[in-house]
Structure 1
Amino acid sequence: MIVFCIVSAKGGAGVSASDAVTTHTSAALPQPLDERTRDRVLSSVLEHAPVSAAELGVRLGFTPAAVRRHLDALSLDGLIEIKRGRGQGGGAGRPARRYVVSQRGQSAIGEDYLAIARAALTRLGETVGAAGIEDFARERFADMEERYRPIVDAAGPELEARADALAQALSADGFVGSTRTVGSPVRRPPTREVPRSTMLGVQLCQGHCPIQGLAAEFPTFCEQETAVFARLLGVDVRRLSTLASGGHVCTTHIPLGRPTAAPADPLSQDSATLSAPATLSTHQQGRP
């Protein structure tokens, strides 16, 4: 299954695709101008993936030939890759070519700390065991939960609004968050027996992960983050894909039409509650 998520153009500090990206030069344009243009193409792929060359041309105001020239150069650098899927019409025919940022491209965007952090966590695991790494990840995301809770609670009780507020908070921290509603609502008014929809939900997408390299080696970071989302939103959430597991975006499914739990003060919960991970969809975890 390919999950198509449209990622918000809002970025956090230190997440611009123009940072630390090496690109090919072109004889057709002066080098600084050509590199800036190519960085804009890479940034647009990051924000709107999976996206076609035609869609990029419209968004950036480039000719098809210009867009393809930059896409070819970024592909040669290994910064983007092609995902093939059905066209927007969903009919038979040649699969559409859509572009996403590659694992190498993600790694090129602000992850110079990775080698030191990985070595430190490896030594921590050798010293105190896997439980020490899990405790470290839990403490890290406890800080995120504390900072995000006032933002999410201020959005009110509606789950869609809370998810949008969570996406904005993630973007401010460099995760390039966005939401989109998926599924079909039921036609008749919902009742206790017949919920608003059996499939309606919100997909919370993260186009960039500042700790992707660490999460790939230490999955507890993804598990603790998912648990925080569930507690902030008050419903069971399921992680459909992660950048750390090879997906082109992190996608968390938030079911609608279910009663949400009353917002809780995390400081009043005991440590066992805080450490309980959200339910993960094991048959879909990490699929792109």
Structure 2
Amino acid sequence: MAIPVFGLGTFRLKGPQAVAAVSTALKLGYRHIDTAQIYGNEADIGKAIQTSRIAREDLFVTTKVWPENFHGDDLITSLEESLEKLGLDNVDLALIHWPVPAQQAPLAEYVGALLEAREQCLTRYIGVSNFTIAHLEQAITAIGAENIATNQIEVHPFLQNRAVRDFAQRHDIHTTAYMPLAHGNVMQDATLQRIAGAHRVTPAQVALAWLMQQGVAVIPSSTRREHLAANLQAQKLTLSQQEMQDIAELERGERLVNPDFAPQWD
């Protein structure tokens, strides 16, 4: 898999808090850092990367292009600005952050511009985020499924997004899960607590392992060292087939990220 199965999400982290969280994560062994233009923390993350002195080839950095930069040459220009803030010659993965209505910007135009950014070596891989099946179909028609490294969407035990994930899998498009801990709600679930107790781990580790065991990459976010360290250890946990099924039955359509500009979800 081109995309590391485990990374650090940085949504809502800014300034010294972002620098500290990313620096701590890198010291603990994180090597995949996920950011976005709209987060306003690319420069903070760049500072943490620079001070870490970790070799560039050992890092995997993802950023996302915001819709206001979809027109004309704006996408490539904005990505160049992101690289300047990050202090990098290129990112490993650049994503379209949100799809927009066709009248605002044609999908083929902005995914095509992202492909051009890859051809200009501004990014190693390209992909999308928050794409529905219909959007994925359009993107596949425009640039080919082989050029879509991942679709980053909200996935956790209470919102499993199976239709979109199944469609993506049929087209060999990987899935990355944001909000994999459901804003911490996984900690209060009885099923996850029971499974965690059996393995002597935390419910958060169980939720993360459940996703990774399905081949889904996860990018949980935290500012606390103990949580960052514990989340990282989820990679060592293996769940039984019955435990995987028990968690699959927790689906309840609990979508946490649904801004007014979101698409019509599947």
| TM-score, reference length from structure 1 | 0.24
Q: Highest Rg: 1 or 2?
A: 1
| TM-score, reference length from structure 2 | 0.25
